[in-house]
Amino acid sequence: MLNLITAHFLPAMPSAGERATLRADLLKHDLLVLTIGCVAAAGITLGLYLAAPAAVRDGMAAAFLGLDQPTMSAPAPKLPRL
């Protein structure tokens, strides 16, 4: 019965070499898409940064670097003496 369903001109499963090549091609494609996306995001960010007024740019840089966060000035807890 299985012979009636199987298409003889197509292998049931690709060989191990074909599967490895397919996986490598998929990995290359995924890396290419990820690279293009990262470059596009960096380009958009740089464009928005350069288009912003100077006062806003300084605030954006400070926020990115974390300089706009309050510093903690609480004293360190004392450790018990042994």
pLDDT in tens, 29-43: 999 999 999 999 999
- Residue 60: partners with Cβ closer than 8 Å, 6 or more residues away: 49, 52
Q: Quick one: tokens of 15?
A: 């060989």
**Least confident stretch, 26-30, 36-40, 76-80:** 76-80
Binned at pLDDT 50, 70 and 90, residue 66 comes out as confident
- DSSP track, the chain: -HHHHS-TTS-SS--HHHHHHHHHHHHHHHHHHHHHHHHHHHHHHHHHHHHS-HHHHHHHHHHHHTTTSPPP-PPPPPPPP-
- What is the mean predicted confidence (pLDDT) over 41-57? 89
Domain limits, the chain: 18-65
Residue 36: what pLDDT? 96
